[in-house]
Amino acid sequence: MYQLTCPKCEAINEVSTAKAGGEIPCSACHETIAVPKLGELRNLPSAEPTSQERAASTAAGLSGGRSMAFAGLGLVCLVCLLGAAFCGVNWSNIEVPITTERHLEMLEESYAESSSAQMIREFEDITKYGVDIPTPLEYRTIELRKQAWAQKTMAFVGVAALAFVSAIFVGRKPRAETA
């Protein structure tokens, strides 16, 4: 393709060698332009970039592999942020009715109010049956579930941050080489 200037409006039109010796309409003013013969047409400026211009434009942007890596890391970052949001919402919706610290405070208060006979019976039950509880208390199960959602949220945020930093590293413009 070659660049042909319209004699009337001076707009640049692209013309192929197949149109040599013929006529084309101007893309701007729609007047008919006579296309020179092949020998004269090849003396006109080329509409296609040279190999040096193509190499410079490729170096300025991302190559195919780098752009795919950039897009892939961006997608991983987005998916991880969505996962973190999902886990964060689940974490925030869990209400723990009582904490372990508050449970111990309540036991201390009840022991302070108990009579000596109740304390002796409790001690005898502990020595007879032990203090092993086969399953955790319900509040503790809820507390552990909430902690698990918090850990998942932080893991997703960490992977998203790593993917973001990697995408920035892959997508950054390389330094121009000095000769």
Answer yes or no: are the C-beta atoms of 94 and 152 closer than 8 Å.
no
Distance CA 46, CA 54 (A): 13
Domain ranges within the chain, ordered by starting residue? 2-47, 62-171
Residue 3 has pLDDT above 90, yes or no: no
Which phi and psi (to 5°) does residue 92 adopt? -70, -20
Highest mean pLDDT among 46-50, 72-76, 95-99: 72-76
More confident residue, 100 or 71: 71
> Which one has a higher pLDDT value, 82 or 36?
82
- Cα 157-97-101 angle, rounded to 5 deg: 85
- Structure pTM? 0.52
Total Cβ atoms within 10 A of residue 72: 14
- Indicate the length of the chain as a whole number: 179
Q: Which tens digit of pLDDT belongs to each residue from 152-162?
A: 999 999 999 99
Least confident among 44-53, 96-105, 134-143: 44-53
- At 40 the pLDDT is 85
Q: Is the pLDDT of residue 51 over 80?
A: no
**What pLDDT, on a 0 to 100 scale, did the predictor assign at position 160?**
96
Q: Mean pLDDT throughout 7-13?
A: 88
